[in-house]
Amino acid sequence: MLFFTQCFGAVLDLIHLRFQHYKAKRVFSAAGQLVCVVNPTHSLKYAPTRCAAAQASAEQGILPPCHHHEAVHDPQLVPCTCPLFSCPWEGHLEVVVSHLRQTHRINILQGAEIVFLATDMHLPAPTDWIIMHSCLGHQFLLVLRKQEKYEGHPQFFATMMLIGTPTQANNFTYRLELNRNQRRLKWEATPRSVLECVDSVISDGDCLVLNTSLAQLFSDNGSLAIGIAITTSKVHSSEAEM
Amino acid sequence: MLFFTQCFGAVLDLIHLRFQHYKAKRVFSAAGQLVCVVNPTHSLKYAPTRCAAAQASAEQGILPPCHHHEAVHDPQLVPCTCPLFSCPWEGHLEVVVSHLRQTHRINILQGAEIVFLATDMHLPAPTDWIIMHSCLGHQFLLVLRKQEKYEGHPQFFATMMLIGTPTQANNFTYRLELNRNQRRLKWEATPRSVLECVDSVISDGDCLVLNTSLAQLFSDNGSLAIGIAITTSKVHSSEAEM
């Protein structure tokens, strides 16, 4: 009996994997772009009290403090920038990428344009979907977060951070694009530096924000495909174009 | 004394008008597009109970009923589509535009691409900014609404409706674009028909949605410039492009 149950479980897993692959392939064939299937991680960092405190301070216009541990004594050292875990690690900016890959198992993708396919959008908040993106000689961290800023009303927040300094970040523009059901939503902005803390970017709402209803319109079988492109910015003259 | 107070009031009004004109002209010169300054109207239609009922039904997945009066007996007649007022008028679809212009004093603009400059974004919800847009042989209604879907957290909702049937609406694509402070947000969709009711489009969140913080980032001195473009849609093949 146990054998049959295990066999049935294995078959279900295979079907699920095949389905994920099919979904990814479909977007991939349509776009000719690299697709990365990103599974969710239920964030371990956010105790409800921490979220509430961050929300309250954001509403009062005060940024929540952004340190994962007491203080960084050596100005050359930065704390772990992984938004998922309270991690005691600290190190030089140059080794943040290898720390994120090795310790937090965050995937890294190459290419100027990729498709980020976040699965299981229905999972309860707080949940994060994270990858690193290597492009134009730099590494970027893409964070999609499901969070309840207003109790009972989860929203999705997507942003891109440069694993580098704020001055370096100013040289780039990132674009996130959703495209489905005869609707298209594009967000373009200068990436923030990971030194600035992803939590405060999301509390400020200075990112792509989706209500649950809109996320459902853009998702396909519980997965949300986000097209990502990074370019070097041209002296920010784009404002005059509109 | 009264004379001096009146003079002072008149001078203040002049300064305000001059300032609005200057703001519009600045966007206009930058873009070479027609700018329409749209003043807000505090919506008289929404009693708090009506809003709460609409919200509750939207959350349960039921669309709120969308009739401004009891019933339309003649199928050829449509009720007044003005989202601002509970208006007892009903008439043929062809005369909706003249009713909106004459009775509700809604401006109409010509041109494929225009800039909608909504003033006084700080006014409390519920507030609407409305214009009509004449383009490609049809008239469209642009509605920007500030509404509290979640109590104490006003959001901005922008959508475009065709003053025509749903079948006619399917032939078009509208684009709303915000562009300021090195950020750009674009929403593209098929317009809904005014027969479908703007209230339910907004309750569903199937439109451009802005949190207050994002609206502030995109606005300039309390005014929000939204670039509008309408095109005929090409068999909706755009989904494959991403």
Q: Which of B30, B211, B238 sits opposite A205 (nearest CB)?
A: B211
Burial (CB < 10 A; 0-12, 13-18, 19+), residue B79, is buried
- Contact across the interface for A188 and B185, Cβ inside 8 Å: yes
CA distance A11 to chain B (A): 32
pLDDT confidence of residue A70? 39
Is pLDDT above 60 for B163?
Answer: yes
0.80 surpassed by pTM: no
Distances (CA, A) of B87 to B78, B103, B199: 12, 10, 15
In chain A, the domains with their CATH numbers are: 33-43+74-232 (2.60.210.10)
Round to whole Å and give the CA distance between B160 and B152.
26
Q: Does B180 touch chain A (CB under 8 A)?
A: yes
Per-residue pLDDT of A43-100, as tens digits, reads: 655 433 333 333 333 334 333 334 443 344 565 677 766 665 667 787 888 888 888 8
Residue A44 C-beta-side C-alpha neighbours within 13 Å: 7
When pLDDT is averaged across residues B7-13 and rounded to a whole number, the result is: 56
Per-residue pLDDT of A110-141, as tens digits, reads: 887 889 999 999 999 889 999 999 999 999 99
- The three-class DSSP label of residue B217 is helix
Instruction: Tell me the residues of chain B between 92 and 111 that have a Cβ less than 8 Å away from chain A.
Output: none
Interface A–B counts its CB contacts (< 8 A) at 102
Query: Of the ranges A186-195, B10-19, B231-240, which is most confident?
Result: A186-195
pLDDT confidence of residue B81? 66
Is pLDDT above 80 for A237?
Answer: no
CA distance B82 to chain A (A): 25
Amino acid (one-letter) located at A89: W
Residues of B in contact with A205 (CB under 8 A): 211-214
pLDDT confidence of residue B198? 84
Q: Does A186 touch chain B (CB under 8 A)?
A: yes
- Contact across the interface for B185 and A180, Cβ inside 8 Å: no
- Contact across the interface for B179 and A153, Cβ inside 8 Å: no
- Contact across the interface for A185 and B183, Cβ inside 8 Å: no
DSSP per position, B128-153: EEEEEEEETTEEEEEEEEEEEEETTE
Q: Does B185 touch chain A (CB under 8 A)?
A: yes
CA distance B32 to chain A (A): 9
Distances (CA, A) of B211 to A150, B142, B145, B177: 12, 19, 12, 15
Query: Of the ranges A145-149, A169-173, B55-59, B65-69, which is most confident?
Result: A169-173
> What mean pLDDT is reported for chain B?
75
pLDDT confidence of residue A17? 47
Beta strands A172-180 and A41-42 are unpaired
Q: Which residue has the higher pLDDT, A198 or B231?
A: B231
Round to whole Å and give the CA distance between A230 and A188.
9
Q: Which of B31, B182, B214 sits opposite A236 (nearest CB)?
A: B182
Q: Does A209 touch chain B (CB under 8 A)?
A: yes
Residue A130: what are its φ and ψ, rounded to 5°?
-135, 135
- Contact across the interface for A177 and B242, Cβ inside 8 Å: yes
Q: What is the 8-class DSSP label of residue A121?
A: T
Per-residue pLDDT of B13-49, as tens digits, reads: 545 545 554 554 454 444 456 777 777 776 655 533 3
Q: Which residue has the higher pLDDT, B180 or A15?
A: B180
Per-residue pLDDT of B77-134, as tens digits, reads: 777 666 666 677 778 888 888 888 888 888 888 887 889 999 999 999 889 999 999 9
Q: What is the 8-class DSSP label of residue A61?
A: T
Which chain B residue is nearest to residue A31, measuring alpha carbons?
B242
Round to whole Å and give the CA distance between B187 and B171.
17
Tokens matching residue B84: 């601002």
- Contact across the interface for A184 and B180, Cβ inside 8 Å: no
